[in-house]
Structure 1
Amino acid sequence: MRLSAAMGAAAVLWTATAAHANDIPGNTTDPSPGSRPSGNANDQEVSAAVTSSRIKVSQVSGPTGGNTGGISSTDVNWEPPPCWYEPVYTPEQLKKFSETGLALGYVSPHTSWGGQKLWTDHYRDGKDAYNYEDGSLITRKGYENYNLGKDGYFWRGVARDLEEPDSYGCERVMFWQDAGEIPDVPNAPTAETLADYAYDKVKVPDTKVELKPQAKSTVNLPTWVWLDKGTFQDVKVRAELPNTGLWAETTAKPIALHLEPGTDEAETFPASGDCQINDDGSIGTPYTKGNADKTPPCGVRYLRATNGKPYGLSASVTWQISWEGSGGANGDLPDGTFETTQDMNVQEIQSINR
């Protein structure tokens, strides 16, 4: 049987579960994380990494300078796809990789082959390959001479996090797909896959708000909070998967600012702490002389002075997320939030510096 013969003839490395590895005669232990193959695909070297996607990400619009950070989904149950398939090798790249050096690389997110014979047997000499998929041992038909002369790519699974159980959903041994076609397999990439991927790449500006008074607030007098209209803009990120025609643009639009005073001894304006975005993109209203005793449309009033340790005024902007992509696809993703905390000192006097 080719399974035991081939695996007995080469050093075969599996990053599958212990049960999977022990069921196959001749398997050795998984390499340490530091020894796992990695790199980039080009004419000289074909990457064997399975946690580094080839999806290209670029920011189309939004701020490019200053402090930024990633958004957190308001839906605690939402996560990007755990795995998907991507084109990795041309026939020529696969031939060079298989017949050069150790030929150590992954054929699926949790399975690696070490030794030229395994690669040449399956991708050059037409011999069947065996792998675990969905808990079953699957036979995959071999290829003749790496499909040289054909137009297309060999596709392999990519896992966002190898520790996630659902990352085992892309364990099909690396397979061929003609150029211009998306494989008809579970977890094949879609425009929505790219939109979800881009969600994690959206970087939004710090939510450091303008305050009046700036240095110290005063007990029982309101502190005005606002953001100028130029501070927050839509942030659009584009994700493209090369050699597939798939793309998506994920857009984050600021829709509200939420204030948390950092103490129960305070009240916010409005009472919910949610300050809406104005039509011009600003939030709240800038403080002007003579407004000290007025109620701000967005602000906070502290009822007790600080005693050596400032309160932490938290300003969190909610971003509404939508996407559009190849083939006219579009949709919405869970809102995201980004929070910044500022120190607030509060003094116990009944006047304000105007």
Structure 2
Amino acid sequence: MQRFSDALLDWFYENRRLLPFRQEPTPYHIWISEIMLQQTRMTAAVPYYERFVAELPDPAALAACDPDRLRKLWQGLGYYSRAANLQKAARVICEQYGGELPADYDALRALPGIGDYTAGAIASIGFGMAVPAVDGNVLRVFARLYDDDSDVTRPETKRLFTERVCEQLPADNPGDFNQALMELGALVCLPNGAPLCKRCPLAAVCLGRASGRAASLPVKPAKKPRPELPLTVVVVRGPQGVLLQKRPDKGLLARLWQPLLLEGRLSADQVRAVLDGMGLPVRGLSLLGPAKHVFTHKVWQMEGWLAETDASPALPGNCVWAMPEELAADYSVPSAFAAYLPAMEGKAGAAR
């Protein structure tokens, strides 16, 4: 296959989306945007990105940010380990590189939370280095271009596809080329269905289109079913606001705040008994309804209750009361509890 970079770049310059991190493609901006875009749709990530870089405009500000404030800025994006790794990396950048991301692929790759793809994106877009940036979009594009049904989750397949990207990579414009491949995968060579081949600048050389197999590529193994965990969520409202419980320092959703979370599917009597044991006698209890949250390796199947109490007992060390304005400003609640956030904010009806 002959080089196709000119056709791809011409298409990109005419069709690329005007995104804030493309307006100011500094290495820092590229880094933050790429970490946010892991596991997050572009349309969802952009407003978070804009708020984040407005408050934390450089590695020094990110390194110095209070961890609770950082988690609050990240609230709603999920996968909070990404934010923790950003701060770890920012501290390394300040300690070892004078507060600027290093213009070196291997040094970037060694930073916490930065893998091959992210290092390639920062190096090529932010520094103009001729290195590839191969993500899921690029793997899909090249599987179709080469009509290759190799399993793209296997390391050897990714190595082969990366070599193919390098064969096409223009040394004088690697950043735009990498962005163009990502954009082609996002806008034209779509996942989970038929690609829009009539709009593709590479349609004439696409072997997958010629064979009629493009829509069935790339090949991935079937996902294993996720185990389901039944849980009971209790939103407790009292004179001092809503009861918040801080999650453990390590593990899933570490150090984030949540309503009272109990294992199993509890009845009204069981919920009352738990609250009585905490010194929180209930004067009203009503169902908030079910909710589901899908994590990478498990599914939470939740049933929600709204409990009203007039008591204000001493709380365990991992619990606090928060008024609605404090909840909004200071406490990071993961999106797993989005269905119950109105009740936590006092917007749900009184419990019965």
TM-score of the aligned structures, taking structure 2 as reference length: 0.24
Q: Computing the radius of gyration over CA atoms, which structure comes out larger, 1 or 2?
A: 1
Which structure has more relative contact order (CA 8 Å, sep 6+)? It is 1
Greater strand share, structure number: 1
Provide the TM-score with structure 1 as the length reference: 0.24
Instruction: Give the structure with the larger helix fraction.
Output: 2
